[in-house]
Amino acid sequence: MNRESSISIKHQLQLYFVLALGFIVLLMGGVWISYDQVLHEREAERVLTVESEIIGAAVKPALMFNDRQLAGELLQSMQFDTDISVVTLFTADGKTLYNYRAKGDHADSTGPVTFQNSNSSAYGGGKLSLYRVVMHKGRPVGVIYLKSVLNHMQENRFAGIMTVVLTMLGCLVVGLVLASRLQHKIAEPISALAKLMRQMSVDGDYSLRTTNPAFNRETEELLVGFDQMAAEIEHSFSEAEEHHKHLQQSEERFRTIVELAPVPVIITRPSDGHLLFYNQAALKLFGVVTDGVSGRFSAPDFYQHPEQRQQLMQTLETEGEIHGYELEVVGVNDKPFWISLSMNVMRFEGAPALFSAFVDITEQKNVEQVLEKNNQLLEQRVAKRTAALQATKDELQSTLDNMIDTYYRIRADGVVERASASVFSLLGYQPSEIAGLSLQALSVDGQQFTQLADALRQHDGAIINQKVQLKHKSGHAIWASISARVMKDEQGKVTGVEGVLRDISQLVQADLQKQEMENKMTHVQRLESLGILAGGIAHDFNNILAAIMGNAELAQFNALDGLPVQQELKNIIGGSARAADLCKQMLAYSGQGMFVKSEVNITTLVEKELQLIDISISKNISLKLELSNVLPSVCADKTQMQQIIMNLVTNAAESIGEEKQGDITIMTTVIEADSKALACPYIDAIREPGEYVLLEVTDNGCGMDKATMGKIFDPFFTTKFTGRGLGMSAVLGIVRAHGGTIQIDSKPGSGTCFKILLPVSVSDDADQVTADDKTVRPHNLSRTILVVDDEMMVRKVVERLLGRLGCKVMLAADGKEAVDVFRRHRQEIDVVLLDMTMPVMGGKEALKQLRDLDVSLPVFICSGYRHESVADMFDEVQPSGFLQKPFSLNVLSEMLMDLANRG
């Protein structure tokens, strides 16, 4: 026991009270002195800061101009506080401008003042140093350094320390008096409590209680707490004795239960497995007849394999407890058997132990061995059956893989489960690739699989040869014929669909080509019929126009100049000319127009037509040209080519309209066209592949649907309120007659593109309208002319027109009559005007017989058909020339003059 604990609590309290009081007084005195010093220092710094601001304001001019003399005069003139000992002025760059030292301050005369360019202050050695930066318009112009001797503050500090010391001494005296008075009141109850505790510890009597009154609440709580603790200890000792008694009884009952339990139980020592406890069931299981095995046996003696215990201990250490651990052990008679062991850690007789309970499972193991043998036999049989099934499956798979058709199986969720090898040739997927794909990934149109599902429901779960479109791996669509049946499980639930697919893309393509060919043939036949009809109408109409124009010209000659009827006759002739132009368009549509072919450069032709094109389109339309400068020529009728260009541009302008801004692009180039590029549903003739001049007119107008495109070349067809006659149908006829082709690409709202392909010219095929060089006749215009025509009006009007030219005219209504007239008047007739289409005998046969009678007879063919169509009808015997109905008096006059010039 140390010295401090040997003294009484009374003296301890007195000593602690005095020490605590002295420490508090010293602490308060130190704080008081420190605080007083801080106050004096702050006051000194404030006063010195004010002095620095006054000095800075005074010497700012000297600092701004670095005037040392001015700085000295200013500082010498100022009245400083008696405590300021040093004043130093620095320029902005750190150079000393002026240094002032008060008299009597010899301590600072030996060293220079250090320059600082920031506001700061420092205490040391009873002195206060201060740096202040002098600013002018936000810019530093110098630094002031001040040092003050704090003599006055030191005197005040000493007086304060003496006051604190005296106060502390007084407090200590008062504290000693109070300590002597209080120590008795506080220490007496505590001393009595210590005495009571010593008695309770020695006697062990926890029924003793405190009797001394307490001076304060804390002491009272201590005494009351001690009495309560003593009562609880007394009660706890009573309960512990009762609990120990019950524990002994419980242990006896547990031992009795365990010893009599049918389940073998042992308790062993963890370190070496020594038996600490065992019951009768354990002795019986291990074959021990007599007791006393705990001294002769340990748990390792029963393990079949010694390493088993080590493995068991490792498992117990890892998992904390063991349940159902199967283990092979041996009994006293060395007979092995199987047990199911459960083990955990416990305390037995105050030491760690292992509690083990186990069940004999030898019979169960024997049954398992028998079942294992049976399972092996069963597995062998199943393996044989599986091998047979696999062989059958392989044969079936080989059959499926070698099928041209593709076998497939699809789950109920629409995912492909499997497919045969032929799926690669069908869809481009390997069987492993397509497995797992959804139907949506293979579908071109998702609705078709919904329709197939409906068809399966409607046809009792099976469909055959339904056409479906699938998506190839490369992205293009193929056509397939699908057959399918619904698969169900034993409960009737749909599990998927299986069936076969067959590639029918070629069949579908053949059907489409057949349908396209039939549509093309129908369209061509319709156009051909319309062409024949248009040609016939034009021919007959030209005959009528010939009579009308001829009579009008005769009437115009007979009427006196200046009469009003002259204007009406002129209008009749003009209207007849416009009707003749319409006939020419109809003949162009039918391919029978009169063409004067020459070498034509399409680029040059477009450039020459630009002015007319600009006039024909609205101001809201921009014309763009992409014309080739090295374009080869085509053999074509220049006028007809102009008509094609104007019709296409006019059609494009009308497609755009006058409401919105639009573009028309005209492009010319030369291409190497193959049979695919030359295919045209509107022309039945097959064009030879080769070099073709391309004329392309594109607009961004309203476009056309398929129905409109099917009628675009019909005569007089239009989508406008008022039509423009035979515009596009004439274009088709001109292109067809020139050995070209036409293509259209249009969609509603996306504009239209017309492509005209014309064969590149290889020679000059220009047509010449000339008379037969064999014709020899006199030069004078007074000739005898035989007019042959089945139309009486035509015969009469031509007779009168020729009469105006001074000719004698003979008439015949058909070819036979013409031959007869020529036989009778052979010496008189100089020229024959011969119609082609007549009853009894046509123009071709009449020409042959007339030439048989006179090989040099000038015979001119007059027809409403075009020259090329008529020329193709003659082979060996050719006419001397051709007159296109309707013709005027001037045409007849030119013919006779040309004939006279030849003669």
Q: Phi-psi region for residue 436, left (φ > 0), alpha (ψ -120 to 50) or beta?
A: left
Q: What is the pLDDT of residue 696?
A: 94
**pLDDT exceeds cutoff 80 at 602:** yes
Residue with tokens 């003793």: 208
In percent, the amount of the chain with pLDDT more than 90 equals: 8
In percent, the amount of the chain with pLDDT more than 70 equals: 78
**pLDDT exceeds cutoff 80 at 339:** yes
Encode pLDDT of 773-828 as tens digits: 333 333 346 789 999 998 888 888 888 888 888 899 999 999 999 999 999 998 99
**Superfamily for 261-360?**
PAS domain (3.30.450.20)
Lowest mean pLDDT among 359-373, 686-700, 740-754, 866-880: 866-880
Q: What is the pLDDT of residue 819?
A: 92
Distance in angstroms (rounded) separating the CA atoms of residues 685 and 683? 6
**pLDDT exceeds cutoff 70 at 716:** no
**pLDDT exceeds cutoff 80 at 18:** no
Q: Which residue has the higher pLDDT, 891 or 634?
A: 634
Would you place residue 12 in the very low, low, confident or very high pLDDT band (cuts 50, 70, 90)? low
Please report which helix (H) or strand (E) contains residue 242, including its range. helix 217-260
Q: What is residue 626's three-state secondary structure?
A: strand
Residue 412 tokens read as 């109920």
Q: CA-based angle 546:547:552, to the nearest 5?
A: 100
What's the CA dihedral at 796, 800, 805, 807 to 10 degrees? 60
Give yes or no for a cis peptide into 306 (omega within 30° of 0). no
Would you place residue 450 in the very low, low, confident or very high pLDDT band (cuts 50, 70, 90)? confident
Lowest mean pLDDT among 323-327, 357-361, 521-525: 521-525
Q: Where are the domains of the chain?
A: 9-162, 261-360, 363-401, 403-503, 596-759, 784-902
State the sign of the Cα–Cα–Cα–Cα dihedral 396, 398, 402, 408. positive
Residue 398 tokens read as 């080989």
Identical fold between 596-759 and 784-902: no
Would you place residue 338 in the very low, low, confident or very high pLDDT band (cuts 50, 70, 90)? confident
**Superfamily for 784-902?**
Response regulator (3.40.50.2300)
**pLDDT exceeds cutoff 90 at 619:** no
Contact 418, 431 (CB under 8 A): yes
In sequence order, what DSSP letters do the residues of 553-566 get, joined into one string? HHHHHHSPTT-THH
Q: What is the pLDDT of residue 579?
A: 67
Encode pLDDT of 62-94 as tens digits: 888 888 888 787 777 776 665 787 888 888 788
DSSP-assigned beta bridge partners for residue 310:
none
Distance in angstroms (rounded) separating the CA atoms of residues 320 and 625? 94
Encode pLDDT of 832-857 as tens digits: 999 888 888 988 889 899 989 988 89
**How confident is the model over 414-440, as a mean pLDDT?**
84
Q: What is the pLDDT of residue 723?
A: 40
Q: What is the pLDDT of residue 294?
A: 46
Please report which helix (H) or strand (E) contains residue 524, including its range. helix 505-558
Q: Which residue has the higher pLDDT, 618 or 667?
A: 667
Q: What is the pLDDT of residue 770?
A: 33
Encode pLDDT of 340-361 as tens digits: 888 888 888 778 888 888 888 8
Residues 6 or more apart whose Cβ sits within 8 Å of residue 178: 17
Encode pLDDT of 199-210 as tens digits: 777 776 767 777
Residues 6 or more apart whose Cβ sits within 8 Å of residue 699: 652, 653, 655, 656, 662, 663, 664, 665, 751, 752, 753
Q: What is residue 638's three-state secondary structure?
A: helix
Q: Which residue has the higher pLDDT, 813 or 37?
A: 813
Q: What is the pLDDT of residue 577?
A: 67
Contact 446, 421 (CB under 8 A): no
- Burial class of 13 by CB neighbour count within 10 A (0 to 12, 13 to 18, 19+): middle
Amino acid found at 64: M
Contact 862, 883 (CB under 8 A): yes
Q: Given the DSSP bridges, would you call strands 477-488 and 752-759 parallel, antiparallel or unpaired?
A: unpaired
Q: What is the pLDDT of residue 535?
A: 63
- Burial class of 437 by CB neighbour count within 10 A (0 to 12, 13 to 18, 19+): middle
Distance of CA 658 to the CA centre of its chain: 40
Lowest mean pLDDT among 161-165, 535-539, 616-620: 535-539
Angle between helices 565-589 and 505-558 (to 10 degrees): 160
Residue 372 tokens read as 């294992």
Residue 64 tokens read as 């701004």
How far, CA to CA in Å, does 417 sit from each of 392, 435, 441?
A: 20, 5, 14
Distance in angstroms (rounded) separating the CA atoms of residues 117 and 137? 17
Encode pLDDT of 723-741 as tens digits: 444 567 778 878 888 889 9
DSSP-assigned beta bridge partners for residue 502:
481
Q: What is the pLDDT of residue 832?
A: 92
Residues 6 or more apart whose Cβ sits within 8 Å of residue 359: 263, 264, 339, 340
Lowest mean pLDDT among 91-95, 173-177, 354-358, 387-391: 173-177
State the sign of the Cα–Cα–Cα–Cα dihedral 611, 615, 619, 625. negative
Contact 838, 863 (CB under 8 A): no
Q: Taking every pair of C-alpha atoms in the chain, what is the biggest distance, in angstroms?
A: 189
Q: What is the pLDDT of residue 812?
A: 93
CA atoms within 13 A on the CB side of 903: 20
- The hierarchical CATH code for the domain 403-503 is 3.30.450.20
Q: Which residue has the higher pLDDT, 160 or 148?
A: 148
Q: What is the pLDDT of residue 381?
A: 87
Q: What is the pLDDT of residue 110?
A: 40
Contact 602, 695 (CB under 8 A): yes
How is residue 356 annotated by DSSP? E
DSSP-assigned beta bridge partners for residue 694:
669, 757
Q: Which residue has the higher pLDDT, 132 or 300?
A: 132
Lowest mean pLDDT among 14-18, 25-29, 326-330: 14-18
**Superfamily for 9-162?**
PAS domain (3.30.450.20)
Please report which helix (H) or strand (E) contains residue 346, including its range. strand 336-348
Encode pLDDT of 298-315 as tens digits: 666 677 777 778 888 888
Encode pLDDT of 558-571 as tens digits: 665 656 666 666 76
Q: What is the pLDDT of residue 116?
A: 67
When the pLDDT of each residue in the chain is averaged and rounded to a whole number, the result is 77
Distance in angstroms (rounded) separating the CA atoms of residues 333 and 344? 28
What does R_g of the chain's alpha carbons equal in angstroms?
A: 67
Residue 794 tokens read as 């035509």
**pLDDT exceeds cutoff 50 at 721:** no
Q: Domain 596-759 class?
A: alpha beta
**How confident is the model over 593-608, as a mean pLDDT?**
81
Distance in angstroms (rounded) separating the CA atoms of residues 220 and 186? 11
Q: Which residue has the higher pLDDT, 333 or 321?
A: 321
Residue 604 tokens read as 């040059």
